[in-house]
Amino acid sequence: MPEVRLYTNAVMWENQEICPKNGYEVVERRVDGPYDRVHYRKRLP
């Protein structure tokens, strides 16, 4: 199934509010070096 993936820094709370409202779901949250990132995906029809 095709999908769009993106990530944002965990301190960007505005993005964490916007993504779910636009159909993205959290896939995982992980620390990548000095960055705490939240990974999202949106499945396409």
Per-residue tens of pLDDT for the chain, all 45 residues: 799 999 999 999 999 999 999 999 999 999 999 999 999 999 998
Q: Which long-range contacts (CB under 8 A, 24 or more apart) does 24-30 make?
A: none
Question: For tokens 């999908």, what's the residue?
Answer: 3
Q: What pLDDT shows up at residue 29? A: 97
Instruction: Please compute Rg for the chain using Cα positions.
Output: 11
